[in-house]
Amino acid sequence: MASKVRIITVAGKGGVGKTSIAATIVRLLVDSYPDKKILAIDADPAVGLSTALDVEVVMSIDDIRRAIIENVEDGNAKDAIEMLGEVRYKIVDAMVEKDGFEFISVGRPETAGCYCKINSYLKEVISMVSEQYDYVVIDGEAGIEQINRRVMEKVTDLILISDPSKKGRQVIATIKRVADELVMYDKVGVIINRLTDESLMPYVTVEGLNILAFIGDDKNLSTFDVQGKSIFNLPSDTAVVAGVKSALIAMDILSK
């Protein structure tokens, strides 16, 4: 690739709207860069990103992993080696093509047994495949460890999501400390979601982290969540779309 892939990872405490924000990032990238290759990776076992983006998942990376492990446990070493050789093609086959982006799900958390070589190989293949895109958006589960363990060690942009609560802000501060040890990243910033009272903004801080945007409680988004509608159908002037756009501009991912 002529230009470096931007790998945007979204992480934070559960229940703060992380997945909706990850989906909105995908939507804004698709709207802003129709000529770019965009990949959305659902690395959260709750698999909410597929619903938010109206994607039907047929096969996950964990399905591929379990098929290899079953061959190993059944003593079919030759089959397992052949499957490892085919993993890249299997991951490409597992991708769902949508209008303006492609999607893949990591799947549920790893089952019992280490199988470190298989996990390491899968992560390496995901990283290799990602290099073929201009933008990769990863919706991670609460915490950052599994991004390093199951998807990739290197990201360019780490966006941490919290609600205004002290507990939520403590969680993302902890994620930042863990990320400093486990994940190589270029930029990091915070989005404070579901701020119901703007007068509280001066009190909502996270030490050592830049707050990219404050997003109010978005009733349009709540309605869409209940109805299971795609984030692509949200009006562009809703709080979440406008707030995420300002955050991406602050990270130099989008231009003004």
Q: Using alpha carbons, select from 232, 195, 192, 226 the residue that is nearest to residue 25.
A: 232
Backbone dihedral angles phi then psi of residue 172, each to the nearest 5 degrees: -70, -30
Residue 256 forms part of a structural domain: no
Backbone dihedral angles phi then psi of residue 104, each to the nearest 5 degrees: -145, 145
Domain span at 149: 6-250
- The tens place of each residue's pLDDT in the chain, 256 residues long, gives 345 899 999 998 888 999 999 999 999 999 999 999 999 999 887 778 999 999 999 898 888 888 877 777 766 666 656 666 778 788 889 999 999 999 999 887 655 555 566 667 777 878 888 999 999 999 987 666 656 565 777 889 999 999 999 999 999 998 898 888 888 899 999 999 999 999 999 999 998 899 999 999 888 888 887 777 899 999 999 999 999 999 999 999 999 8
Domains held by the chain: number: 1
Distances from the Cα of 127 to the Cα of 54, 82, 133, 147, 170, angstroms: 24, 20, 10, 12, 30
Residue 255 forms part of a structural domain: no
Secondary structure (3-state) at 217: coil
Q: Which pLDDT value is given to residue 84?
A: 64
d(CA 181, CA 169): 19
d(CA 114, CA 202): 46
Amino acid identity of residue 175, one-letter, is I
Residue 1 forms part of a structural domain: no
Q: CA angle, corner 159, sides to 191 and 131, nearest 5?
A: 150
Q: How far is it between the farthest Cα atoms of the chain?
A: 64
Pull the structure tokens for residue 71.
């061959």
> What residues form DSSP beta bridges with 97?
102
Q: CATH no. for residue 44?
A: 3.40.50.300
- Torsion sign, CA atoms 199, 202, 207, 209: positive
d(CA 73, CA 5): 37
d(CA 108, CA 167): 26
Distances from the Cα of 33 to the Cα of 21, 48, 75, 243, angstroms: 18, 24, 48, 18
Overall size of the chain counted in residues: 256
Q: Which pLDDT value is given to residue 223?
A: 84
Residue 183 forms part of a structural domain: yes
